[in-house]
Structure 1
């Protein structure tokens, strides 16, 4: 079904199919470990017409073939506009290339809006085309804005017919409590390190161990960074380049990604200042701060900057200011 199966999903999929007692499951865990893939696998399994009790989809029946082609009439995948094409491509499902941005035209939304939910409800109320379940996957569930989430509540609580939901989230705490309470939780933890490294090696990722550490053990994110051109060597060089004030270390990065990298660096430096090892960088890559106070102030500044990272007035000046701020904080912490 999927273009790239994630081997660590086999056990949680089998467990979910065996233990699911609700019409709505909430797949939750850290980003980059396969929440969407697991939710889609659940959907295909629920729709499969030739599987045994608590078994995953067979992949051979007419329903599975329709699902793989992206034309199953009883399946809906609800995504924000900004994620739609990339998410469908990663799943091996048909997608439409997004139009090139035009001047004055709004950017694709990162929210799931109420209009999309209303269209979904029309689908949910229709009779199943193949006489089995109708299944809805929503990802990321936290992208439902307040109006959209409230519009979904009644159907989520009282689904018509054999309607089933698989919500996938990497920030389930931000969901409405009324949404969470209507779903059976399905935790998806980080995969075992050996499984993640084997998968990354199969994708041709050099320096997989360093990139896996850089992403906090999230193999999908490590692969995405590799595909974007980031190497382990470049990542390990980042702390000392930033400490020297080299703007070029981050000049090719979008502001949100640059802030994320600096937050990881700040986190590791705070740990080092307390005599603990870093989490995202190798020990040899990190300066040795003596004081945590300047780093904690820097962390607060980064959190404020992150709230505006998607809309900087001038990205290059923004990056330059971030690097200068980082250099100042690291130097103060070393004194």
Structure 2
């Protein structure tokens, strides 16, 4: 199993040492390894050689079963849309999604049917005589019915059942789910560690991409693998201000929204005399008014709710760029 995220070593050791609940909630910003930490916790709890407070040995029969994705006492619950890419990133076996015409688009929610299947696993006896572990990611993807179906088992697990819920939006979880879990915060990694990891992965201009993602190394790697360079990122503010649709045309709608939200955030900062957070300060104009930018931010948040299902993606991107150009222009005009 892939687990080459060096900044997770300390949080893993801390979690193994202080975990007192049968259910942990790993929570923090996206792109820093919540899923990887959750899975390493599960492997460590199932390891048959390491001491209870020590990381998995990676050598015992249990660890070998875990690495092959065939451990009978482990379940990984993911939304359909994330299942294959998440398992691939972990080095676990996965099935290619069925993309035949007419087939429904894979869901980004965890539905009640999946939770009911999980409950059958939860009620069975441990195959190897140790714990049984369930990892749910992202936990906020549990829809309301699925979350309620999980509550009783989460509160009163059978036998040695343990849960790790991993989330980058724990506020989106039902309070009754959060209250049944011991929180395990995961913060942004040290910049030096993140840069060293990105450079080892062959990422050029790693510092610029790491800043662009707000310090999230996994997201920076994904952007680099998608072909985004730091130069292209720094050119985005001026291209959007000129109304260049091509600046965003190669991005999927959710990523286009994300890029515009980062740009809007930095322009608001510049309007108050602050440096950019996601863009180099020199790449940003200095708006005279923040009000048009705040109105634009509200529009972007509304658009984000429908980013996965635009009726016509290309027209939608065109409209987003036109909206961005108008907001930036309005912010540059005096009161």
Confirm or deny a common fold (TM above 0.5).
Answer: yes
How far residue 4 of structure 1 moved from its aligned partner, in angstroms, is 4.2
Q: Point out where structure 1 has 5 or more consecutive residues left out of the alignment.
A: none
CA distance in 2: counterparts of 1:204 and 1:45, whole angstroms: 30
- What secondary structure sits across from 1:205 in the alignment? coil
Instruction: Work out whether residues 132 and 162 of structure 1, in 8 Å CA contact, stay in contact via their aligned partners in 2.
Output: yes
Instruction: Work out whether residues 45 and 52 of structure 2, in 8 Å CA contact, stay in contact via their aligned partners in 1.
Output: no
Q: 1:308 aligns with which of 290, 306, 309?
A: 306
Q: 2:195 aligns with which of 194, 197, 203?
A: 197
- Taking structure 1 as reference, are residues 101 and 213 closer, same or farther at Cα in structure 2, changes over 3 Å only? farther
Residue in 1 that maps onto 2:114 = 116
Residue in 1 that maps onto 2:67 = 68
- How do 1:48-87 and structure 2 match up within 5 A? 48-87=47-86
CA distance in 1: counterparts of 2:139 and 2:185, whole angstroms: 14
For 1:244-282, what per-residue CA distance to the aligned partner results, in whole angstroms no more than 9, with x for missing partners?
A: 111111111111111110110010000000001111000
CA distance in 2: counterparts of 1:46 and 1:70, whole angstroms: 16
For 1:88-129, what per-residue CA distance to the aligned partner results, in whole angstroms no more than 9, with x for missing partners?
A: 0000000011112422x2101111111111110100110100
CA distance in 2: counterparts of 1:236 and 1:109, whole angstroms: 34
Q: When the two structures are aligned, how many residues end up with a matched partner?
A: 333
CA distance in 2: counterparts of 1:190 and 1:213, whole angstroms: 12
Residue in 1 that maps onto 2:149 = 151
Residue in 2 that maps onto 1:222 = 220
- What secondary structure sits across from 2:2 in the alignment? coil
How far residue 3 of structure 1 moved from its aligned partner, in angstroms, is 2.0
Residue in 2 that maps onto 1:33 = 32
Residue in 2 that maps onto 1:179 = 177
CA distance in 2: counterparts of 1:186 and 1:170, whole angstroms: 12
CA distance in 2: counterparts of 1:52 and 1:144, whole angstroms: 33
CA distance in 2: counterparts of 1:259 and 1:318, whole angstroms: 11
Q: Point out where structure 2 has 5 or more consecutive residues left out of the alignment.
A: none
- How do 1:231-246 and structure 2 match up within 5 A? 231-246=229-244
How far residue 53 of structure 1 moved from its aligned partner, in angstroms, is 3.9
Supply the RMSD in Å over aligned alpha carbons. Answer: 0.8
CA distance in 2: counterparts of 1:197 and 1:259, whole angstroms: 26
